[in-house]
Amino acid sequence: MKHTVGVGLIGFIMIGLTVSLSGCLNVDSADVPPTNYLSKVIYVDLANTGTSMAVSYDDISVASLNYGGHSTLDTIPSGSRRMKFSYGAATDTLRQGFASMYQYTYFSIFDPANGDAGRTYLLAGVGYTRGSQGVKDTALVRFFNLSSDTVSDFSGGMDFTLGAASLGLGATGVAYENYTGYMKVPAGNSSYEVFATNADTTGGTPLIPTTSLNGLQSDGEYSVVVYGNHASIKSLVLQEH
């Protein structure tokens, strides 16, 4: 049975760009001056364009990813960095600012507006000196809706339930390219489930049936990400701390 409570949605740090069909772009938005401090980044490839994706900043290679794959947590210099995302014969180049003492999740996702080979990029960041958010023996979990079908088949968004119904944890109507704040759940073993908000589009069948979320560490931070299309919708779990 679905049992959710509304959780305020936090918008992405949107990278103001649209990838052209040729895959080439140059965007300068160096809002953060270079410093001697560091940022942390996880790169995630959720664009099913039939090719792997290589990632670099300032011409330093940091990851090579296949669809559905992600890097380990990488440390890079804070400030303005020239990012390159290469896939097939295309390379997308953009200037991105990273704040010091922040941890980011950097997504490459399929963009329906750009055709079958289109990609766009989304960045979610949070300060990583934040131990006060957690409580002893609890973990922090948030939910991302990155399934492009949310703008068509599942236009009402997605509902997310976390843990036992008695906890009352979850969110309703999470729109495409949106995510929730962190929710506190007891450390150890848990589970999650995802439904279309407009349940009549699936007859009440979960998009993601009950899935184990085991081994949650005390004061650990995790993201549950739904991606893909109606025929092959998937989820993955990222451990970010």
If we measure between CA atoms, which residue out of 131, 126, 149, 238 comes closest to residue 202?
Answer: 149
**pLDDT tens digits for range 139-192:** 999 999 998 776 566 778 899 999 988 889 999 999 989 999 999 999 999 999
d(CA 17, CA 15): 6
- Answer yes or no: are the C-beta atoms of 85 and 119 closer than 8 Å: yes
- The answer to whether the beta carbons of residues 208 and 193 sit under 8 Å apart is yes
Cα–Cα distance for residue pair 167/106, rounded to 1 Å: 30
Show the domains of the chain with their CATH numbers.
13-127 (2.60.40), 131-239 (2.60.40)
What is the radius of gyration, based on Cα positions, of the chain? Answer: 18
Question: In which residue are the tokens 């950097």 written?
Answer: 106
Q: What angle do CA 142, 149, 237 make, to 5 degrees?
A: 30
Residue 165: count other Cβ atoms within 10 Å of its Cβ.
12
Residue 217 — φ and ψ, nearest 5°? -85, 145
The pLDDT of residue 114: 66
pLDDT at 201: 58
Mean pLDDT score across all residues of the chain: 82
Average pLDDT over residues 211-223: 92
Determine the 3-state secondary structure of 188 from DSSP. Answer: strand
Asked if residues 220 and 137 have their Cβ atoms less than 8 Å apart, the reply is no
pLDDT tens digit sequence for 73-114: 999 999 999 999 999 888 999 999 999 989 999 999 987 676
Which pLDDT band holds residue 10 (cuts at 50, 70, 90)? very low
Pairwise CA distance, residues 82 & 210, whole Å: 40
Question: Which is higher by pLDDT, 16 or 137?
Answer: 137
pLDDT at 22 over 50: no
